[in-house]
Chains A and B, each alone.
Chain A
Amino acid sequence: MKKTNDVILQTVTKIISFIIILFSIHLFFAGHYTPGGGFIGGLMTAAALVLLLLSYDIKTMNKILPFDYKRMTAIGLLIAVLTAAGALLFNVPFFTHAYDYFDIPLLGETSLHTAVLFDIGVYLVVIGITMTIIQTIGESE
């Protein structure tokens, strides 16, 4: 295999992966009122990580982002179940969500909803499963 130099791809990746991650965070938080949500936000974050994997390699990715993606999937499932079970503490049925208005400095009056916590679980599960599949296929000979 001949020696190649990917300097253009790596420089472009350094800029574009941040734009993709920002877009995925926007999709995640906009999911309540506009198209988007945990699933597509997680897929876009995984796409940014896949772009990093394409222009670098698995060893560098494990060094700069030392996540155990299987553990990330487990934490996401745990957050989703705990959000659903938290409703039982207030004597309402399983999976009942609640929302209220809070005064947050810098943002003003904002409505916070417990569905976001469930969405964070979905987001972590989607990233964890996608990256587990891709890294497992990439590592096998």
Chain B
Amino acid sequence: MLDIVVSIALIAVVLSMIGIVYRVIKGPSTADRVIALDSLGISLISVIGLVSILLRTSVFLEVILLLGILAFIGTVAFSKFIEKGEIIQRDRHK
């Protein structure tokens, strides 16, 4: 019973990921693509959670937190590049 519910949820998440990938390819501006990539990472987190329920293991739970951190840092880096043109500044008071 649980496996069926988790499989249905997995299919729903994968369908939403296909929609997000369409937005990554089609997105008119760079900001659309960055937000689509961020939500793709968050969807990947939910896929990993559902797969770890299916496999009945708890060793993937570190991966979930890791992907959350990496998605956040990647989005911050991309948005800083869009905003300021450089990712790491040498002196921000100059």
Given contacts A54-B87, A59-B91, A138-B87, contact A23 B59 (CB under 8 A): no
Tell me which residues across on chain A come within 8 A of B69, comparing CB atoms. Answer: 20, 23, 44, 47
A35 engages B59 (CB within 8 Å): yes
Given contacts A36-B62, A51-B73, contact A58 B85 (CB under 8 A): no
B72 engages A16 (CB within 8 Å): yes
A112 part of interface (Cβ distance < 8 Å):
no
Q: Is the interface of B mostly helix, strand, loop or mixed?
A: helix
Q: How large is the interface on B (under 10, 10 to 19, 20 to 34, 35 or more residues)?
A: 20 to 34
Mask for A19-41, Cβ within 8 A of B = 1, else 0?
01001000100000011100010
With both beta carbons as reference points, the residue of chain A lying nearest to B83 in the complex is identified as A4
Q: Is the interface of A mostly helix, strand, loop or mixed?
A: helix
B92 part of interface (Cβ distance < 8 Å):
yes
By a beta-carbon cutoff of 8 Å, the part of chain A in contact with chain B is: 1, 4, 9, 16, 20, 23, 27, 34-36, 40, 44, 47, 50-51, 53-60, 134-135, 137-139
By a beta-carbon cutoff of 8 Å, the part of chain B in contact with chain A is: 59, 62-63, 65-66, 69-70, 72-73, 76-77, 80, 83-85, 87-92
